[in-house]
Amino acid sequence: MEARDVHARFRVGGGLSGPARTLRAVNGVSLQLRRGEVLGLVGESGCGKSTLSKILLGLQSPTSGEVYLDGGPLSSLGRKHIASCVQPIFQDPFASLNARQTVGEIVGLPLRVHREMSRADRRQSVKAMLDRVGIAEQMVDVFPHELSGGQRQRVAIARALILRPPIVICDEPTSALDVSVQAQILNLLMELQRELGTSYLLISHNLGIVEHIASRVAVMYAGRIVEVGETEALFRAPQHPYTQALLAAVPRVRSAKREIVDLGTSFPNPVDLPQGCTFHPRCRFASEICSATAPSITATATGTIECHLISQPDKFRLSAAVGQ
């Protein structure tokens, strides 16, 4: 799957609240999800991650730009075909499950829509998938409210994977769960990914989770992808100032000393984004060109970076303590 120069804009305000303005939630994103990989997508709240995930799922059309699935534009594909190829696992397992349906009905619905199967065969397939995610056969006929949070998320995973889709988009799949349950769900996701060869787009605020399971990481800021790189290289030596700041904020058990990067208290306003590089008002390395001209995307050894300072290494030297 590939996004090419995708934009998502919304009109906000108007009437008694003042003139209508344009909110740029996704502002020219180009990103590729490779076959069989786990791509982490990280960034602050409000940077456009969830909006981008809805576009990739086909739940929302981009204002401009295009998403391609196996080389073909997503906009030319039917809703049913997209659903058979791309499935979501949402943040809140209780909100994403139909409270009026049993576990068996929830997990079996994709089979009923996409496969011609008898009721008995469908029920057998549902039981096999539930067993694979750790849900006992006796729970096939219970309702979501009778399950714990971790069990509900296992049901959501079973529903997403029962069609064996090539792509699963996980939008904060463990943030609503207890810490002890998070590890179980993550381990389950990785076991199933290795078993089925599924490509994951993992959206998360938790950099520790991303570092542990992602093969590549994309860093998003104010609707833009500012850095993409292989996980080990990006966590060891982040190149964009914003990526540095994110990693510097993560506590490291073995780090006796590390640099603290102050981003201030101001957050980017998607209704009034700054000229030039959108990160320059918070960047400790910002120079005159940063406030005047938007940076272009530059290839690196393991990915890409969108920053003027990549061509000025003497002004842009990361403290070794950040990555330790």
pLDDT in tens, 121-143: 999 999 999 999 999 989 999 99
- List the helix and strand counts (H, then E) for the chain: 10, 12
Question: Which is it for strands 297-299 and 304-306: parallel, antiparallel or unpaired?
Answer: antiparallel
If DSSP codes are grouped into helix, strand and coil, which group holds residue 24? strand
- Residue 17 pLDDT > 90: no
- Residue 144 pLDDT > 90: yes
Long-range contacts of 178-181 (CB under 8 A, 24+ apart): 178/149, 178/150, 181/148, 181/149, 181/150, 181/153
Q: Render pLDDT for 65-119 as a digit per residue (tens, 0 to 9).
A: 999 999 999 999 999 999 999 999 998 888 889 999 999 999 999 999 999 999 9
Distance CA 25, CA 17 (A): 20
> Who contacts 299 (Cβ-Cβ below 8 Å, separation ≥6)?
none
Radius of gyration of the chain (CA): 21
Residue 60: how many CB atoms within 10 A of its CB? 15
Torsion of CA 115, 120, 121, 126, to 10 degrees: 90
- What pLDDT shows up at residue 253? 57
- What pLDDT shows up at residue 181? 87
Question: Which is it for strands 167-171 and 199-203: parallel, antiparallel or unpaired?
Answer: parallel
Is residue 314 classed exposed, middle or buried when 0-12, 13-18 and 19+ CB atoms within 10 A define those classes? exposed
pLDDT greater at residue 324 or residue 310: 310
Distance CA 217, CA 205 (A): 12
Residue 231: how many CB atoms within 10 A of its CB? 19
Distance CA 296, CA 324 (A): 29
Its pTM stands at 0.90
275 Cα distance to chain centroid: 26
What are the start-end ranges of the E strands in 186-265? Answer: 199-203, 216-221, 224-230
- What pLDDT shows up at residue 205? 86
Residue type present at position 48: G
Residue type present at position 180: S
Which tokens belong to 307?
A: 């920053």
Q: Render pLDDT for 236-276 as a digit per residue (tens, 0 to 9).
A: 999 999 999 989 877 765 554 555 566 765 678 889 999 99
Assess contact for 52 and 6: CB atoms under 8 A.
yes
Residue type present at position 275: Q
